[in-house]
Amino acid sequence: MSIVTLVGNPRAGSRTREVAVAAAEAVGRRIDDDAAAGEVVDLSAAFGRHLLSPDPPAEVKAALELVAGAGVLVVASPTYKGTYTGLLKAFLDRLPSGALAGTVALPLLVMGDPRHALAVEVHLRPLLVELGATVPTPGLALVESDLPRLADILAGWADRTAPQIVAIKEGASR
């Protein structure tokens, strides 16, 4: 099962990327011995400047195809102004309606304040559903102060998430 990680942080080498990759790896270990947290689409500023181009370069088109073809898609962003980044929105807006049909999407937001925890459910989940993804579990809202406990948090989240992913994928293959 292919796992793709999409990171909507404008800063290259961000904590959001580290958390997202670790989350993909944690889920991958639990859903299938052959599953791997493979490809990462990092929308850092260098990549992002092409998103609004009327005819994006080949690297943007390839990233869109990779995301649309994912079996499992971890979608991660820092929380800016109470929601995901505009960079992530600009990228996802390039996907056609229904582009994520057949994809299990796992929304993840990294935030500075726990008051923003609902943003993952109220803002990011509906966007992924609108694109056709199945979003089976509560998204992961990770407060920066919890980063020292990241392994434990991800273990619990992956333990709850993996059985749902497997059930969805098995149901789709019938």
The DSSP code sequence of 100-145 is TTT-EEEEEEEESSGGGTTHIIIIIHHHHHHTT-B--SPPEEEEGG
Phi-psi region of 93 (alpha: psi -120 to 50; beta: other; left: phi over 0): alpha
pLDDT tens string 121-146: 999 999 999 999 999 888 999 999 99
Quote the tokens at residue 68.
């649309």
CA atoms within 13 A on the CB side of 102: 9
pLDDT tens string 6-27: 999 999 889 999 999 999 999 9
Q: Please, are residues 23 and 76 in contact by the beta-carbon 8 Å criterion?
A: yes
Q: How long is the chain?
A: 174
Amino acid 145: pLDDT: 96
pLDDT tens string 21-47: 999 999 999 997 565 668 999 998 678
Q: Please, are residues 93 and 128 in contact by the beta-carbon 8 Å criterion?
A: no
Residue 173 or residue 124, greater confidence: 124
pLDDT tens string 144-159: 999 999 999 999 999 9
Alpha carbon 101 to chain centroid distance? 15
pTM for the structure as a whole: 0.94
Other Cβ atoms less than 10 A from the Cβ of 86: the count is 16
- For the chain, the straight-line distance linking the first and the last C-alpha, in angstroms and rounded, comes to 16
CATH class of 2-172: alpha beta
Widest Cα–Cα separation across the chain: 43
The C-alpha angle 22, 23, 26, rounded to 5 degrees, equals: 85
DSSP 1: -
Q: What is the mean pLDDT of the chain?
A: 92
